[in-house]
Amino acid sequence: MKVTNLGYLIKEGIRGIFLHGFMSVAAVVVTVACLLIVGSFSCLVYNVNILVEDLNKTNEILAYVDSELSDAEARSIGTKINILENVYKAEFRSREVALEEFVADHEGDTAFGGLTATDFRHRFVVVLEDNELMAQTVAQIEAIPGIVKVNASFEMAEGFITIQNVLHIASVAVIGILLVVSLLIISNTVKLAMYDRKDEISIMKMVGATNGFIRLPFVVEGFVLGMVGAIISFFLEWGMYNLLVKRLAEVDTLKLFSFVPFTQLLAPMVATFVAAGLFVGVVGSWTSIRKFMDV
Amino acid sequence: MIEFSNVTKSYTVGTHALRGITMQIEDGDFAFLVGPSGSGKSTIIKLITGELKPTSGTVHVNGYSLERIREREIPYLRRTVGVVFQDFRLIETKTVYENLAFAMRAIGAREQEIRDRVPYILNLVGLENKSRRHPTELSGGEQQRLAIARALVNNPSTIIADEPTGNLDPARSLEIMNLLQEINNLGTTMLVVTHERDLVERFGKRVIAINEGLVVHDGMDGYYRA
Ligand SMILES: Nc1ncnc2c1ncn2[C@@H]1O[C@H](COP(=O)(O)OP(=O)(O)OP(=O)(O)O)[C@@H](O)[C@H]1O
Ligand SMILES: [Mg+2]
């Protein structure tokens, strides 16, 4: 295809948008609405994900050290735990600290009055990167010489994993549905545009225009509609997000929820919106054209 | 060149629009295609333009074998065949000039080619003074001239006209036929479907007559007097 024609075809595509002003506006509005919901949902998922991951880090594993070992020997085991792939961090906690903590937890309880530090063992408090691999990592820690026992809460880990999985499935489902809705709307707009110009299309076919040449202006039309929708919804999302975070900060004085600033989401959000806009625009127009051209 | 060999066409099982057509139209020929309504004339045209595929037999048009042409090649076949319809099929929102430019752009012509070619063609069909008008501001004869101009504008080797004078009075019909003859004299192969016996007799050209999907006459001698 010659370059001069490309200019003409793009011009035709953009002309189409104004020719079908009302439908174009409707298509953009619906796309914006859908992308806003997709975007907001993504932001929410992103933040909840971070929250869950933080909570995850509170799920600690206790690795007890053989009481025959000296203090120095006990401490040196820490490096062996830390080099394990799935270990986020391993902190040494001496038997003295363990005693203090125990006493603090059971303050005023005379039954434990006679306890001394020697009744406790040195231990490591281990936080994992990925709790899904907990069983494996626990086994690795248990295999380290000098470790006599490992206490891990599998139930809690599984709970978090379930929350994360449900979140992922739900977000994929919601985003998928909304994308399909936008796709259908754009597809219908382009179909209408094609129907409007079915005489022109039949003349083009009659004089020997290739299918690609006939399609391109409509694909351009869908592309521009999708991109305009993406850009508008991106900036709306940005504004809404910041507003929400500000409001929340005013209400939530306890800082229960900490939302990441939108600027931290910028790159993935731009990518999401542009990809969604492109996908909706180009695929939407392409599919409707296919159906139309077969007639 | 257009060549039909034992061509049959059934739209649905059991109906036979064409029942074994064999004919040959050489480059530069002028032929009338006549026959009663429903005899299969439009079906023959659709086979030539690749709109339909033959049920059996072979159709060769300007180097393409239509019985096994690929979808992707059909546009290139159509660039060799200009079609003129009884109902013109013009774009009413475009001017006379733009209607022709549109047909050229559709096959990727450059703007300079368009600026050179369109006035030449408008002159050929006698519409040089109407280039800024819209089709609705033209008479029936002028609209048909524009339709012929559009069929010509991409310089096809063959022109096929399906009832090009069906909507015109006898004087306008004669003018259109004269124009088609003129175009044929410039070297374009011409196949004209018509019901107008007077015109056919007057021009004394080759006549291919179809009836019930079969060729019943093919020759220069007067078909209607036989
Ligand atoms: N799309 C179709 N589906 C089924 N049958 C069709 C179709 N088109 C045409 N036919 C039948 O095929 C036969 C030939 O039709 P065709 O249109 O070729 O006739 P024609 O010679 O052009 O007639 P006319 O002079 O009225 O235009 C007719 O019997 C017609 O009913
Ligand atoms: Mg017919």
Do B195 and B210 contact (CB within 8 A), yes or no?
A: no
pLDDT category of residue A137 using cuts at 50, 70 and 90: confident
pLDDT tens-place string over residues A93-117: 888 888 888 888 777 676 776 777 7
Contacts of A250 (CB under 8 A, 6+ apart): none
Q: Say which residue, B49 or A103, is predicted with more confidence.
A: B49
B68 touches A at CB < 8 Å: no
Distance B47 CA to ligand 1 centre (A): 12
Contacts of B46 (CB under 8 A, 6+ apart): B52
Mean pLDDT of chain A: 80
Section A231-245 average pLDDT? 88
Whether residue B180 has pLDDT greater than 60: yes
B1-80+158-226 CATH choice from 3.30.360.10, 3.30.70.1520, 3.30.420.10, 3.40.50.300: 3.40.50.300
The predicted pLDDT at position A148 comes to: 83
pLDDT tens-place string over residues B121-149: 999 999 999 999 999 999 999 999 999 99
Q: Give start and end residues of each alpha helix (H) in B30-110.
A: 41-48, 74-78, 96-105
Do A126 and A80 contact (CB within 8 A), yes or no?
A: no
CA atoms of B147 and A292, how far apart (whole Å): 25
Contacts of B154 in chain A (CB under 8 A): 207-208
Report domain extents, chain B: 1-80+158-226, 90-155
> How distant is the Cα of B171 from the closest Cα of chain A, in angstroms?
28
pLDDT tens-place string over residues A166-198: 888 888 888 788 778 777 877 777 787 778 778
Contacts of A178 (CB under 8 A, 6+ apart): A34, A35, A37, A38
Whether residue A63 has pLDDT greater than 90: no
The predicted pLDDT at position A54 comes to: 77
Q: What domains does chain A contain, in order, with CATH numbers?
A: 3-55+159-292 (no CATH), 60-152 (3.30.70.3040)
Section B71-97 average pLDDT? 94
Contacts of A199 in chain B (CB under 8 A): 89, 91
Section A226-246 average pLDDT? 87
**What's the pTM?**
0.72
